[in-house]
Structure 1
Amino acid sequence: MNWIMPKDWKIRYKNELDLSTKYKEEGNLKEAWKYLERAHLIGQYYPIPHTEIHFRMLLFAIEQKNKKEILGQLVRVSFGWLGSWLNRIPVGNTGGANVPIFQPMPIPGDLLDILSDADQTSKSLSGLKKK
């Protein structure tokens, strides 16, 4: 069970959130969303950050009046924490309603250093490799 996010992960997670906020303030919503997705890639391994990022995505969707994304995020906010708690998440999934909830995806190269323990070999739900 993954409860406490390591310090280096917290720093990277917060950096992605800060970049999202910066781009949103500048009116660049596409980039703002991209950095929410990147924060999701890091936060999805831990129940509290995973729920937090989906809540942020929900608020973003509400602000944009995006009904599909609002519905998608309501489901993810409600149940995403459970996958994190059980270490059964779709590794690499960006967390938006534009991709299937359980679809694993490749991890961007610049995040591989922090996510090196992510099980990228699974074709279904996985998580951090057991040590």
Structure 2
Amino acid sequence: MEKSILKKAFYNYLKLGKKALREHRFSKAFYYFENAHILGQKHLYRHTVSHIWLLILGVKKQNFKDVLGQLFRIIASVLFTLIWVPVGNTGGSNVSAVKRMPIRKELQKYF
């Protein structure tokens, strides 16, 4: 798969997540940001950006657990992305930061 297609899909999911966030559709925003995370997790900048948007979502929802979890994950993404990432992990603080997960069906075409 060409890297530019993966990159374009990442930014598309990020855009969809931001739109859903503006509309206060938090569950939808979370889903889109998770997809962006899966697509961007092997790229340092995109991986970190996906966690920043998950953090912003946590702040908007006033969810302390999500905010704390994302602060930890932002630091981890900067330190470990180039070394190792758990493939398929959705990036939310509702799952272990080190758990490998199956790639979602709708994203498999990018891998």
Confirm or deny a common fold (TM above 0.5): yes
- AA aligned to 1:67 is F
Q: Which ranges of structure 1 fall in alignment gaps of 5 or more residues? A: 116-131
The TM-score with structure 2 as length reference comes to 0.92
Give the number of equivalent residue pairs: 110
**Distance in 2 separating the partners of 1:37 and 1:30:** 11
- CA pair 26-59 structure 1, distance change in 2 beyond 3 A: closer
Q: Report deviation, 1:65.
A: 1.0
RMSD, aligned CA:
1.4
2:64 is aligned with 1:67: yes
Q: Which ranges of structure 2 fall in alignment gaps of 5 or more residues? A: none
- AA aligned to 1:90 is P
- AA aligned to 1:91 is V
Quote the residue 1:119 is aligned against: none
Higher helix share: 2
Quote the residue 2:108 is aligned against: 112
Rg larger in structure? 1
Q: Report deviation, 1:97.
A: 0.6
**Distance in 1 separating the partners of 2:57 and 2:108:** 26
The TM-score with structure 1 as length reference comes to 0.79
**Distance in 1 separating the partners of 2:73 and 2:47:** 9
